[in-house]
Amino acid sequence: MWLYLAAVLAGLYLLRRWHRERQTVPRLSEKYVLITGCDTGFGNLLARQLDARGLRVLAACLTETGAAQLRAAASPRLQTVLLDVTSSQSITAAAAWVREHVGDQGLWGLVNNAGIAIPTAPNEWLTKDDFVKVLDVNLIGLIEVTLSLLPLVRRARGRVVNVASVMGRVSFFGGGYCISKFGVEAFSDSLRLEMRSFGVKVSVIEPGYFKTVITSVENLENNILSIWEKLPEETKASYGENYLKEFFVKLRKLQEKYNSNLTLVTDCMEHALTSRYPRTRYSAGWDAKLLYIPLSYLPSALTDVIFTWSYPKPAQKA
């Protein structure tokens, strides 16, 4: 009896959620959305996806080549602007450009997608500058872009969509990437609470492992090898050549698990921008849903055992 009642209630809850999430925002063709990092990957695909749906896409690219290629693949509605999220001057100029385009209507959507993963390596192999390089793009740049455009988003009672990662929940490799994604989660949480009274909704996208330019194994291997060559001999001896070889083996095995269906991520972004009732968090990819996010709720002692089991073994142990 109670089991039957629980099943009915769960079914009604899921039906209500499905119905709410299918309701879309009206007059989408009138709404402006700015997306950062549109040269390649998620940003490029999302720009074309939203353009095809009729939204007024403002695509921020790092290079003129990327911008030109995107314009050639989209409708005349799509507009591009050059933006380096690590440059305050570039952000100020882009914000002025956006303000000129949207006018009194405001900016309906801001998608903070720009990001990098390199340099990455075991923490001891890296320098402060290696961490700063990643944090400047993935976190500090995201924050500055958001602060520059937030008045326009408030005016439209719009949306902010921040691209984090499952590595913003569990961190098992060194460098600034995981740190930056933890920071994106924290910034998004505080911003969501502050903006709630203004009618602005803030969503976080948490993809699993997807095959993009920044996750290219070849790029990661070259990066790690160049870092290894600069290490002091004492550090190299502590880890050993075999550690480096095993590291590369793990990376190649990881490549086999990459998901190449980027629409799983961009569909989440699109829903966050177009649904009347967007989610606070979106997980994209079965590895995110079934592995990394569940692991994030387990005791640290248990996750430590699981992650270190797959780590390379150093030459010199304690």
> What's the one-letter identity of residue 131?
F
> Coil, strand, or helix at residue 135?
helix
Cβ 201 vs Cβ 154: under 8 Å = no
Residue ranges of the alpha helices (H) in the chain? Answer: 2-21, 41-53, 64-73, 88-102, 128-135, 141-156, 176-195, 217-229, 233-239, 241-256, 263-274, 286-287, 293-296, 300-309
Q: Which two tokens stand for residue 2?
A: 């109670």
Write out the two tokens for 37: 């990092």
Other beta carbons less than 10 A from residue 283's beta carbon: 22
- Chain-centre distance for alpha carbon 91: 19
Dmax (CA) of the chain: 69
Active site residue 13: no
Q: Per the structure block, which two tokens stand in for 277?
A: 């009732």
Q: Which residues contact 239 (CB under 8 A, 6 or more apart)?
A: 122, 314, 315, 316
Q: How far apart are the first and last CA of the chain?
A: 57
Choose, from 32, 177, 282, 292, the residue flagged as catalytic. Answer: 177
Q: Please give the backbone phi and psi of residue 84, each rounded to the nearest 5 degrees, phi first.
A: -110, 110
**Rama region for 27: left / alpha / beta (φ>0; ψ in -120 to 50; rest):** left
Which residues does the annotation mark as catalytic?
177
